[in-house]
Amino acid sequence: MIAMSEVADRAGSATKLVMPTLSGVGSVRQDADTNAPVDDEQIKRQAYAEGLEQGRARGEQLGREKAQKDIQRLQQIMGYLHQPLIDLDNQVLESLAALAVRLAGQLLHRELELEPTRLIPVISAAIEQLPLNNERPKVLLNPQDRELVAAVQAEQNDLADWVLVADPSVQPGECQVVASLSRVDLGLDARLKNLLATLLDEDAPLPV
């Protein structure tokens, strides 16, 4: 026979309630959160974060491209600073030659107005460089200089063979002498160009 105490113990065991553990509650809650609908605010925050990351990456890329361009520009400037000194010398000499031509032309024309005979030796030197023949040389002069030289020619018989021609392309104080197929240019521009070429050529003798 079963004792009364044993029966009571069995009855008590049958009526005990099994309480869920904390881990079980967490698992049920996690499952419930997973199956719950996604919050709109969470989507917005996630999209905002992704946008920030993409913007940062794009900004870094643009920054690297700009830095590369700045480096190339700096290298180009450094190349200019290290260009051969002779190139700078050529530019300076050409600028000085052009300036000298303008100034000399103005000064010579002013002197010719005061003393027209100053151009006569220049014309004579040009005629002496022409081949000997019986042709009368043509002397190309600036229109204003031609008037001054013509006044001198009228007073000197040894200049009667000169054919004075007004040529606007000839600068004041310059002259060109033409005979047959020969031409002698004793203009300031031609002289300075020859001098400049001689200065840039180390092996060439200096002009007399």
- What is the spatial distance between Cα 130 and Cα 177, in angstroms, rounded to a whole number? 8
Query: Among 172, 154, 174, which Cα is nearest to 162's?
Result: 154
pLDDT digits (tens, 9 = 90+) for 29-77: 555 455 545 567 888 788 777 877 887 778 778 777 877 777 777 666 6
pLDDT at 57: 78
Is residue 9 pLDDT above 70, yes or no? Answer: no
Report the pLDDT averaged over residues 121-143: 76
Domain extent, residue 150, equals 85-200
Token pair 């700045």 is found at 70
Share of the chain above pLDDT 70, in %: 42
The CATH number that applies at residue 190 is 3.30.2320
Residue 91 resides in a domain? yes
Is the pLDDT at 17 greater than 50? The verdict is no
Establish if 165 belongs to a structural domain. Answer: yes
Reported as a single tens digit per residue, the pLDDT across 155-203 is 887 777 888 899 998 877 777 888 776 667 666 555 555 555 555 554 5
pLDDT value of position 93: 63
Q: How far apart are CA 93 and CA 75, in angstroms?
A: 28
78-87 average pLDDT score:
54
Q: Is residue 172 part of a domain?
A: yes
- pLDDT score for 50: 81
Collect all residues with Cβ–Cβ distance below 8 Å to 104 and sequence separation of at least 6.
173, 188
- At 46, is the secondary structure helix, strand, or coil? helix
Structure tokens belonging to residue 153 = 């020619």
- 208: confidence class by pLDDT, cuts 50, 70, 90: very low
Q: Is 175 a member of any domain?
A: yes
Establish if 207 belongs to a structural domain.
Answer: no
Residue 53 lies in a domain: no
Domain total of the chain: 1
